[in-house]
Each structure stands twice: as structure tokens, then as C-alpha cells.
Amino acid sequence: MKALVVTDYALLELQHIPKPAVGGGEVLIKIAYCGICGSDLPRYFEGGVHSYPQILGHEFSGIIEEIGTGVDQLKIGDQVAAAPLVPCHECSNCRKGLPSMCIAYSFIGSRQQGAFAEYVCVPEQNCIKIPAGISLKEAALLEPLTVALHSIERINIQAGMSVIVYGAGTIGLLTLLSLRARGVGEIMIVDLNQHKLELAKKLGADVIINPNETEIKTFFENHELPDVVIETAGSPVTQIQAIEFVQRRGKVVYVGTCTQDIKFAPEIFEKLVRYELEVTGAWMSYSAPFPGYEWTAGLRYMATKEIDVEPLITGIFSLEDVEKPFQEMVSKDSRHIKVLYDMKA
């Protein structure tokens, strides 16, 4: 089969390798689409993989082509998406129903071979059947949608609450769509990329803020602070602003990955105490029974079109394009949101 393989620092190769063999309790999926996640960028550009060679790709959909022994809930020909987390199901956290807290997990596309390939093997319990009305292309966005859904479920968001989302990338925009589907009040989106902000406006954001044009502090001199902050950008600046600009007794959810040291001024950090803020993190998108309600809820939102992910798909590439979509994603003022490799042919 054809596969894109990271073989060294910033080196991605199109290789012909053997098709993976199906083990007990597994299915072989013929990949239709696989998205490039923001977490794949450092794995390629910065050598952030656990070992070489590594096939990336964990946001995928496809059709089951083979089934292993013991598989009884799926059949050949089923269209599926798949949860990439492979928990051990045996540690104390797994037994508590906390698979994302597993201390001995694997992960498709990171700790084991992923879906930037024509085929991938997946445990049966990781597969989610795609209902009628959802295309394979749309289903490739189910995994990032579940991340957004999980983040807003980490706190009690009530109808009418105002929310600010830092970051208008894939997760930020899917958070916007999830919040709108939940029926919250005013939604504000912050990003430095004006094109992405304009898309956020089309998707239902009430207010868009570009700090290059209006400083956040200046904006909130004439606007009420939000009840909820969801930080998806992973920037030290916005990670501090998440605490700085929120209502008293407000709620803050950190989703974006921390990449640098963060230094809080004493008067900002003190707001945690004085404002009695509720601060939490959101890690992946799983609950019990595995893979969790996030996955069934995401499918329902997509099937009913309460959440339409199509506008977020900004590029379709083939495996033969190799690193081209990676380069386009990191180019200055890139307009890409979600880029997919198409393996249907």
C-alpha cells in the first residue's frame, strides 16, 4: 500500500509498504479521508514523533475491508470513523471510566502507525458507524469535533451565557459551532488571521476581534466581560488573557497546547482567588463507555446539520502531494482551516 512516512526531522516520504495484518478484535479500514491536525505539524516539522519511521494521521474515515477474529459488531463494507486513542482498559483510570487519563495508552498516528495511508488497522471498539446523510469527507472531521464538544462539556455552560473563544483554527471554529448548537448567548472569536475571523462570522460568531486592529484590553473597556473563556490557540498571550478578561466567578477552559513558559503578573494570577474563577483543562475527547458520548453527540449534530463541518474543509490533497499541504498550512496568512488527504482512488 501507499503511505506517507515521516523518516527523519522534516522529512516526509511516499513509500510502498505492506498492508497491515488484521489482529484479533481488529478491523482493516480502507481509508477514504484523513485530516492534518495541528498536532501533526510539530511531528513533521520539529521531529516530535516517538520513533521513526512514523505514519501520521488520526482524523480519518473509511470503509471496513477485513475483520479479525472476535469482531461481531461490524462487517465488511461498513463506513466508519475511528477514535484514535487506544487505552489499555486495565489501569485504574480506565476502570474508573476515564480512558483519556489512561497511563498506558497508545494512539493511532502517534504511538502506532496512522492513517496517512491507504489502510490502517483499528480495534473494533474504536470504530463508529457513519449514519446515512454524513459523507466520508465530513466524517473525517468527527474526531476534532469531539475535541470541541468535550471542551465545552468540561464546565456547566448555561443558556444565554456569553463566551469568548481564543483561536479561529479548526478547534476554535468547531467550538464556535458547538456553542451555537448548544444555544449559548453572545459568542466572541479572537484571532490574528482576518480571513479566519470572517469565516467565523459566517459560521455564527456575534463578534470577531483581531488584536492587530483592536487590543483586547481596549475592546473590553466598552464591552462586558464574558462569562466563559475557551482558549484553543495555545499562545502564551491568550493563555494569560483567558484569566485576565473574564467575569467574576467566570469559567475558563484551556484546550490549546502549551508551547512556551507562561508568566502571570501577580495581579492577574490573583484574579483566580479574588474572582473565584473556575479553571479547567480539556484533554482529548473521551468518556465512558468508550469512546464516549462526545462521539455519538458529534454524529447526531452532523447528521441533523445542526453542525455543518463542510465550510471548514479548505483543501483536498492526494498522498502524491506529500508535504505540500503541510507547507501550505504554515505559510504566512494561510487561509487553510482543515486540510484532508483523499485516499479514495
Contact partners, residue 108, CB within 8 Å, separation at least 6: 57, 58, 82, 84, 85, 86, 114, 115, 120, 122, 126
Quote the Cα angle for 92-98-102, to 5°: 60
By residue range, what is the domain housing residue 296?
A: 2-145+285-342
The answer to whether residue 169 sits within a structural domain is yes
Same domain, 291 and 273: no
Q: Report yes or no on 150 lying in a domain.
A: no
Q: Are 144 and 37 in contact (CB under 8 A)?
A: yes
Q: What is the CATH number of the domain that holds 297?
A: 3.90.180.10
- Max Cα-Cα span within the chain: 63
- CATH number of the structural domain spanning residue 218: 3.40.50.720
Give the whole-angstrom CA distance, residue 140 versus residue 131: 13
Rounded distance between C-alpha atoms, residue 224 and residue 189, angstroms: 15
> By three-state DSSP, how is residue 33 classified?
strand
Q: Assign 259 a pLDDT band (cuts: 50, 70, 90).
A: confident
Examine the domain organization and report whether 166 and 135 are in the same domain. Answer: no
Name, in order, each residue with C-beta under 8 angstroms of 5's C-beta and a sequence gap of 6 or more. Answer: 12, 13, 14, 15, 17, 53, 54, 55
Instruction: Name residue 279's beta-bridge partners.
Output: 252
Asked if the model's pLDDT at residue 345 lies above 80, the reply is no
Domain stops at, among 236, 264, 281: 281
Give the pLDDT band (50/70/90) at residue 329: very high
Q: Are strands 85-86 and 79-82 parallel, antiparallel or unpaired?
A: unpaired
Q: Got the DSSP string for 290-334?
A: TT-HHHHHHHHHHHHTSS--GGGEEEEE-GGGTTHHHHHHTSTT-
Q: Report whether pLDDT(265) > 90.
A: yes
Q: What percent of the chain is predicted at pLDDT more than 90?
A: 97
Task: Report pLDDT for 38.
Answer: 93
Q: What is the per-residue pLDDT for 344?
A: 84
Q: Please list the helix, strand and coil fractions of the chain in percent, rounded to the nearest 5, in that order.
A: 30, 25, 45
Q: Give the CA count within 13 Å in the CB-facing half-sphere of 158.
A: 4
Q: What is the pLDDT of residue 332?
A: 87
Assess whether 214 and 302 both reside in one domain.
no
Boundary residue ending a domain (263, 281, 299): 281
Please check whether residues 193 and 98 belong to one and the same domain: no
pLDDT of residue 172: 98
Same domain, yes or no: 264 and 313 = no
Same domain, 132 and 176: no
Same domain, 310 and 180: no
Q: How many C-beta atoms lie closer than 10 Å to residue 310's C-beta?
A: 12
**pLDDT (average), residues 53-61:** 98
State whether 164 and 274 are in the same domain.
Answer: yes
Query: Where does a domain end: 260, 281, 302?
Result: 281
User: Is 124 contained in some domain?
Assistant: yes
Q: pTM for this one?
A: 0.96
Does position 98 have pLDDT exceeding 80, yes or no? yes
Q: Are residues 82 and 136 in the same domain?
A: yes
Total domains present in the chain = 2
Question: For the residues 20-32, what does the mean pLDDT come to?
Answer: 97
Average pLDDT over residues 155-162: 95
- Whether 213 is covered by a domain: the verdict is yes
